[in-house]
């Protein structure tokens, strides 16, 4: 039986889920930011040892490696990309600097957005003096109005190189309809700076990265892709080389923000920015189907970030209507997830201006890590607070592979917070915990309540290394009554990618009038619609074949972006028709659009008299994979077996007024049907589950932990 490997590289830990000869192993290793392949291989070596084999034997039997990561986003936040030059159409050099009307507020927290006097636009990734316009012009129908001036291009490129450009972005007006001018610009660059020269110049075209309308989003997406490309390729290249050296010859499939995946050589850097949280969201949808839960909130609390998303009616959240990466709007398809800086390694500090304790977004990472790691960290973190409060055991943390120093944790909290606040160390530690849980819980509440959902109707999937430790606490702030933990919570994003179909997404902007203004005349010529879908299918099949995948088994599904005439809002909806052949087909497309539009913006917003415009095609090519269900065992007694009881230790519970001797259990020894009343602590090698007073924990037949709150 072939093996599969799923890896999620986070800011603090690298997680792996490995399936080999019908068995599954999970492993964690510290993320090695200096060379990601080191932490990657350490995680695989740990998993291989757990499976009773060596890494070369495992890799030689591996069919596929699936890889999700947020390293692209981390590199962007650090602003460590190369110096780039932008080539656009003459007269439109200021497009990305003008942006859109509300672009200055994109990506800002609400509090900063409201403070208009202090809010600032982000510093551009390409400064104005590195932006040039070349003489050419194409109209909105893709017709050439002015041919490309090749001499002008050569002069402008030479100027950008002289100013220090190490890569070029080409985004010409309406290039998604007529890409020939962009392609010719690249040819001119390669003629003057061929790849055999040390001065060769990488050129990224907007018509290849994102062939769709909306000049600002298309240009920014291409800039971000070029900005992240080199660092991503170097880091993934090192991992690829290491895998090849150790005997793996299969593909590395990258998880995309759209919920799809593609081979690393067929993936643009910008598509990977949110891969980890999206894999977790799809994993939550799978778990929901296994447990009979249709409405779920993903709450993934790792070492650096807190990722969240919604599964409604069994389906992972909608695609973002205005997707953002950091401070910029992009045009790629991204499943709706959100991240904040609230993880186990998030640093707590005293705000000098307000005198309040703040937690995050800065993180201690894996090196030096929290003060309790005793690796040189001096700042107090959430993990340090959990150690001081008695929730985490210094001896059994991370399966005993990482011994924690209570003294270091206490000293960090005492120096930075307790003394300035004139509080006992334990009270300061509880303050850290309460602040981070309130921050995470309120974010979850807004994700649900502000989108029209009742959080009490949702179950919360607490995952990540710190998720089960804090699930009851931030669940209380989110007003949910049921928290789900899993035996693989600590590696949940890697688990999610293991249960994904192979899916690739292809996009193309094309404007069609489905319903003419007046609401009576329907689209009659279907040739453009059908030809657009056909070309997308051809691209998908060619890519699948190039990756050695069975293109004939692909299942195609279509989504369209549509809007009513006279209205600003656009809505993406599922189109059940891959081809149109009659007026009845056109009317069926309208009904699907109207139903989704009405749900999103109210039925009163429907305006057929204004007509309906279709302006963007999104084709999903899916290779369905058989998913093994979660293993189940019959339910047994409610009382845990004696072997599951480890000991008891003092833990601080603010609900009970201080330290209380609390029962500690071996999570792996608990059996389906076992029930526990909080307070209680359940220890596993890779995470600790904390059951607060007023909550009850029971073991599901799949091994999942269901924690329910007693409601007054």
Given this model, what pLDDT does residue 130 score?
95
If pLDDT is split at 50, 70 and 90, which confidence band does 469 have?
very high
Same domain, 223 and 285: no
The answer to whether 632 touches 659, Cβ cutoff 8 Å, is no
Does position 357 have pLDDT exceeding 70, yes or no?
yes
In tens, the pLDDT along 234-291 reads 778 888 888 989 989 888 888 888 888 888 877 888 888 888 888 999 999 999 999 9
Same domain, 484 and 514: no
Q: 427-436 burial, b if ≥16 CB within 10 A, otherwise e?
A: bbbbbbbbbb
Does position 201 have pLDDT exceeding 70, yes or no?
yes
Does position 712 have pLDDT exceeding 60, yes or no?
no
> Would 270 be classed as within a structural domain?
no
- Out of 410, 435, 460, pick the residue that ends a domain: 435
Same domain, 400 and 472: no
Region 180-187: mean pLDDT is 96
Region 193-207: mean pLDDT is 84
In tens, the pLDDT along 86-98 reads 999 999 999 888 8
The 3-class SS string of 555-599 reads EEEEEEEEEECCCCCCEEEEECCCCCCCHHHHHHHHHHHHHHHHH
* Residue 249 β-bridge partners: none
Same domain, 128 and 86: yes
Does position 391 have pLDDT exceeding 70, yes or no?
yes
Given this model, what pLDDT does residue 711 score?
67
Same domain, 94 and 206: yes
Same domain, 490 and 515: no
Region 342-349: mean pLDDT is 89
If pLDDT is split at 50, 70 and 90, which confidence band does 516 have?
very high
Given this model, what pLDDT does residue 210 score?
86
Same domain, 151 and 36: no
Whichever domain contains 605, its CATH number is 3.30.1490
How far, in Å, CA of 255 to CA of 267, rounded?
9
> Would 253 be classed as within a structural domain?
no
- Closest by CA to 522, choosing from 580, 569, 482, is 580
Burial class (CB in 10 A: 0-12, 13-18, 19+), 266: middle
Cis bond before residue 368 (omega within 30° of 0): yes
User: Strand pairing of 306-312 and 315-316?
Assistant: antiparallel
The answer to whether 491 touches 8, Cβ cutoff 8 Å, is yes
* Residue 363 β-bridge partners: 346
> Would 261 be classed as within a structural domain?
no
- Out of 69, 98, 123, pick the residue that ends a domain: 69
Given this model, what pLDDT does residue 319 score?
65
Same domain, 457 and 385: no
Given this model, what pLDDT does residue 664 score?
95
Given this model, what pLDDT does residue 679 score?
95
> Would 249 be classed as within a structural domain?
no
Domain count, the chain: 6
Q: In the 8-state DSSP scheme, what is residue 414?
A: I
In tens, the pLDDT along 144-176 reads 999 999 999 999 999 999 999 999 999 999 999
What are residue 111's phi and psi, to 5 degrees?
-60, -40
Given this model, what pLDDT does residue 366 score?
67
Same domain, 602 and 509: yes
How far, in Å, CA of 553 to CA of 531, rounded?
21
Given this model, what pLDDT does residue 318 score?
67
If pLDDT is split at 50, 70 and 90, which confidence band does 115 have?
confident
Given this model, what pLDDT does residue 484 score?
96
> Would 223 be classed as within a structural domain?
yes
> Would 635 be classed as within a structural domain?
no
The answer to whether 533 touches 620, Cβ cutoff 8 Å, is no
How far, in Å, CA of 594 to CA of 320, rounded?
18
- Out of 48, 69, 90, pick the residue that ends a domain: 69
> Would 612 be classed as within a structural domain?
yes
> Would 605 be classed as within a structural domain?
yes
The answer to whether 255 touches 281, Cβ cutoff 8 Å, is no
Give the DSSP per-residue string, 483-517.
EEE-TTGGGHHHHHHHTPPEEEEEEEEEEEEEE-T
Percent of the chain with pLDDT over 90: 47
Same domain, 319 and 457: yes
Whichever domain contains 30, its CATH number is 3.30.420.40
Does position 109 have pLDDT exceeding 70, yes or no?
no
How far, in Å, CA of 29 to CA of 39, rounded?
6
The answer to whether 474 touches 299, Cβ cutoff 8 Å, is yes
Same domain, 421 and 538: no
Same domain, 96 and 183: yes
In tens, the pLDDT along 542-601 reads 988 887 888 889 999 999 999 999 888 888 899 989 999 999 999 999 999 999 898 888
Give the DSSP per-residue string, 290-310.
HHT---EEEEEE-SS-EEEEE
Domain that includes residue 675, residue range:
642-697
């Amino acid at each position: 039986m072939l093996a599969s490997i799923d890896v999620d590289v986070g800011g603090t830990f690298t997680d792996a889920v490995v399936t080999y000869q019908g068995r599954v192993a999970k492993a964690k290793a510290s993320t090695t930011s200096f060379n990601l392949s080191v932490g990657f291989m350490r995680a695989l070596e740990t998993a291989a040892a757990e499976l009773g084999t060596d890494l070369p034997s495992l890799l030689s039997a591996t069919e596929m490696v699936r890889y999700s990561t947020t390293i692209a986003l981390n590199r962007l936040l650090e602003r460590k990309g190369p110096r780039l030059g932008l080539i656009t159409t003459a007269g439109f050099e200021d497009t990305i600097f003008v942006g859109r009307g509300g672009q200055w507020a994109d990506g800002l927290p609400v509090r900063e957005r409201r403070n208009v006097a202090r809010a600032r636009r982000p510093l551009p990734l390409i400064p104005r003096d590195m932006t040039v316009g070349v003489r050419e012009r194409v109209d909105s129908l893709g017709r050439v109005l002015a041919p490309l001036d090749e001499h002008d291009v050569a002069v402008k490129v030479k100027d950008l190189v002289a100013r220090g450009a190490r890569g070029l972005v080409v985004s010409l007006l309406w290039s998604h309809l007529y890409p020939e001018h962009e392609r010719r610009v690249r040819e001119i660059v390669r003629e003057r700076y061929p790849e055999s020269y040390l001065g060769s110049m990488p050129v990224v075209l907007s018509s290849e990265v994102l062939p769709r309308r909306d000049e600002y989003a298309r240009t920014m997406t291409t800039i971000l892709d070029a900005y992240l490309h080199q660092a991503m390729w170097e880091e993934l290249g090192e991992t690829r080389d290491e895998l090849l050296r150790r005997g793996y010859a299969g593909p590395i499939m990258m998880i995309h923000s759209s919920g799809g995946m593609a081979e690393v050589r067929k993936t643009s850097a910008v598509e990977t920015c949110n891969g980890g949280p999206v894999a977790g969201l799809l994993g939550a949808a799978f778990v929901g189907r296994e447990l009979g839960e249709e409405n779920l909130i993903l709450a993934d609390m790792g070492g650096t970030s807190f990722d969240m998303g919604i599964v409604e009616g069994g389906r992972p959240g909608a695609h973002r209507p205005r997707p953002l990466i950091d401070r910029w709007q992009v045009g790629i398809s991204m499943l709706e997830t959100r991240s904040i800086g609230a993880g186990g390694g998030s640093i707590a500090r005293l705000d000098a201006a307000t005198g309040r304790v703040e937690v995050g977004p800065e993180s201690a990472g894996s090196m030096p890590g929290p003060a309790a790691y005793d690796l040189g960290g001096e700042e107090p973190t959430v993990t340090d607070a959990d150690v001081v409060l008695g929730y985490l055991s210094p001896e059994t943390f991370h399966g005993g592979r990482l011994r924690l120093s209570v003294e270091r944790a206490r000293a960090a909290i005492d120096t930075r917070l307790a003394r300035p606040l004139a509080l006992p160390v334990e009270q300061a530690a509880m303050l850290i915990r309460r602040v981070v849980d309130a921050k995470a819980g309120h974010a979850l509440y807004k994700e649900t309540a502000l989108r029209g959902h009742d959080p009490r109707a949702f179950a919360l999937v607490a995952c990540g290394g710190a998720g089960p430790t804090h699930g009851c606490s931030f669940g209380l702030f989110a007003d949910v009554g049921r928290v789900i933990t899993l035996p693989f919570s600590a590696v949940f994003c890697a688990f999610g990618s293991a249960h994904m179909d192979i899916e690739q997404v292809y996009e193309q902007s094309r404007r069609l009038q489905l319903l003419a203004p007046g609401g009576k005349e329907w689209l009659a010529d279907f040739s453009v619609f059908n030809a657009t879908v056909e070309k997308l299918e051809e691209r998908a099949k060619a890519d699948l074949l190039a990756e050695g995948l069975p293109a004939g088994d692909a299942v195609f599904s279509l989504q369209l972006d549509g809007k009513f005439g006279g209205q600003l809002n656009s809505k993406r909806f599922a189109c059940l028709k891959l081809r149109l052949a009659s007026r009845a087909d056109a009317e069926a497309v309208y009904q699907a659009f109207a139903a989704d539009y009405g749900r999103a913006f109210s039925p009163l917003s429907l305006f057929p008299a204004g007509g309906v415009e279709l302006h963007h095609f999104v084709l999903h090519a899916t290779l369905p994979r058989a998913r093994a269900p979660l293993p189940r065992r019959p339910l047994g007694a409610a009382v845990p077996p004696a072997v599951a009881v480890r000991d008891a230790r003092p833990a601080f519970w603010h609900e009970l007024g201080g330290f209380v001797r609390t029962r500690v259990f071996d999570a792996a020894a608990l059996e389906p049907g076992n029930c526990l009343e909080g307070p209680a602590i359940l220890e596993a090698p890779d995470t600790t589950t904390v059951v607060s007073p007023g909550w009850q924990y029971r073991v599901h037949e799949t091994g999942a932990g269901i924690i329910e709150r007693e409601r007054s």
